[in-house]
Amino acid sequence: MTELPREEFANPGPLRDALVAAILDGTKTSTTSLHADYAAEGEVLPQAGGRGAVVDSADQVVAVIETTAVDVVRLAEVPWEHARAEGEGHRTVAEWRCDHERFWAECGVAVDDDTLVVLQAFRVVEILQGDTADLTRRRYRRRAQEYTDQLGAMDAVAEPDRVLVERWAQTVQGRILDAGCGPGHWTGHLAGLGHDVVGMDPVEEFVAHARLAHPRVPFRVGSFEDLPDGETYGGVLSWYSLIHLPPSEVRETLARFRDTVPYGGSVLLGFFTADELEPFDHLVAPAWVWPVEQMIELLEEHEFEVLHQERRQDPGVRREHAVVVAVHRRTRGFHASGPQRLRMFNEYGVDWPFWDDDGPMDVDDLPLPEELTSRVLRWAAGFNDEFDWDRGWPSAAQRDAHVAEGHQLFREVQAALPAHLTVELDLWETIVAPPGSVSPPRGR
């Protein structure tokens, strides 16, 4: 890509970001430059069929464009078709000219009717940087105000959806994450009902609006990939925030939701549905419709149990709507295993002797406070370091100290677990005090 000439639109910063976003989403297909700049810099005019590398504010090549037409005219002769194709939202040529004159003046150049300008039309040949999420973010940034005006208030929400989400929120124990909150209307609404809720969206303009509209509610810029390890929520609301992700990325996102929502926590997904999983041309960015059955299968693969599902065709709406509510229930309980199973854990590099119906569990998978998890791991490591499977404990004192600490941890674990998880004391006893587990004296 380095052999292609660089195509730099405006100066690095918000204006360039906006212009590049318009190029990537197909809104901008023309540009205007001063003819004198080419002579001053010793450059030749662009030629039809020539290609260039579009550079963003971070100096990254994001696309390849191909010039389709070039013309040199007086500034007073710029046609409306060209001005409109610049994709900057101008309503008249006069408005377009005023904006450009202001830009050139900031660059120290004065223009008049007779100033020669180069009119360049182009098309996008290839988008080089950014995954689906990045492209979607750019396009929503471009149309953030339009989206907010049309859909950024609870007045735009169907009454059955409002009732369902409110009822779901009442069942959530702990903080709610509105993942892909958009302009923040759902986040603000739930906060107004007394729920502890935080909104997150990758589109900076949405978050800025949400903070102004709901100043007492926490919002942050971020995507699903930005969810910090160890950060947990009692519930995740994903209201149409998965629709722009390809199926493989939906799978990855549900895995993140599973890691973010502890056992007993829940998710509510809103999405477009149809009989087949397929992409469609969304107004903003490419999107997918999901059969409800396939979404449920995917949730179950990620340890969620579906509690409620519905689909609805609203009058005047082209696509069918679906909602699924699911709770994270990997297992209905777990139990501590005996020494042999603990040994099996050691062989596979796992430091904690919990098993559920599906096999071994890592203590990091359990909904325990971080400090308690650390103490449990240290205790297990001490057992592994001190206990010899052939000779037992080095001394009765070490065994008794380990047993006492184990009983204390058992009580704390039992108290910290949700009601649907239990630990069995009798099997715990086989871990902390294996029969005949004191080593015989070594030497005199």
* Residue 62 structural domain: 6-127
Q: Does 271 map to a domain?
A: yes
190 and 273 belong to one structural domain:
yes
Distance (Å) of CA 192 to CA 196, 214, 325: 9, 9, 22
368 and 421 belong to one structural domain:
yes
223 and 276 belong to one structural domain:
yes
CB 271 within 8 A of CB 227: no
Q: Is 347 exposed, middle or buried (0-12, 13-18, 19+ CB in 10 A)?
A: exposed
Residue 123, by phi and psi: left (phi above 0), alpha (psi -120 to 50) or beta?
beta
Residue 435's closest CA among 334, 335, 336, 340? 340
The Cα–Cα gap between 355 and 416 comes to: 18
Give the β-pairing of 304-312 and 335-336.
unpaired
Number of folded domains in the chain? Answer: 3
**Tens digits of residue pLDDT in 25-80:** 788 999 999 999 998 888 899 999 999 999 887 788 888 999 999 999 999 999 99
Q: Does 378 map to a domain?
A: yes
Q: Does 438 map to a domain?
A: no
**Using 50, 70 and 90 to split pLDDT, how confident is the model at 186?**
very high
Token pair of 358 as six digits:
């599906």
CB 437 within 8 A of CB 399: yes
Q: Does 143 map to a domain?
A: yes
Q: Does 145 map to a domain?
A: yes
- The yes-or-no verdict on residue 390 having pLDDT over 60 is no
The Cα–Cα gap between 317 and 239 comes to: 17
What strands lie across the sheet with 61-74, from one edge to the other?
Answer: 6-8, 51-55, 61-74, 116-127, 30-34
212 and 77 belong to one structural domain:
no
CATH code for position 289: 3.40.50.150
Mean pLDDT, the chain, whole residue set = 81
Check: pTM over 0.85? Answer yes or no: no
- The yes-or-no verdict on residue 206 having pLDDT over 50 is yes
Give, as one character, the DSSP assignment of residue 363.
G
269 and 306 belong to one structural domain:
yes
- The yes-or-no verdict on residue 82 having pLDDT over 80 is yes
78 and 92 belong to one structural domain:
yes
Q: Does 258 map to a domain?
A: yes
- Over pLDDT 70: what percentage of the chain? 81
The more confidently predicted of residues 239 and 420 is 239
83 and 227 belong to one structural domain:
no
Q: Where are the beta strands (DSSP E) in 159-261?
A: 176-179, 197-201, 219-221, 235-239
Long-range contacts of 224-228 (CB under 8 A, 24+ apart): 224/179, 224/180, 224/252, 224/253, 224/256, 225/133, 225/256, 226/200, 227/256, 227/259, 227/260
Please state, as a whole number, how many other Cβ atoms lie within 10 Å of the Cβ of residue 72: 12
**Tens digits of residue pLDDT in 131-182:** 567 777 777 887 888 888 988 899 999 999 999 999 999 888 889 999 999 9
281 and 345 belong to one structural domain:
no
Distance (Å) of CA 229 to CA 64, 226, 233, 333, 360: 37, 9, 12, 24, 21
The more confidently predicted of residues 331 and 387 is 387
314 and 383 belong to one structural domain:
no
CA quadruple 167, 173, 179, 184: dihedral positive or negative?
positive
Residue 434, pLDDT score: 47
Token pair of 41 as six digits:
């810099």
Q: Does 257 map to a domain?
A: yes
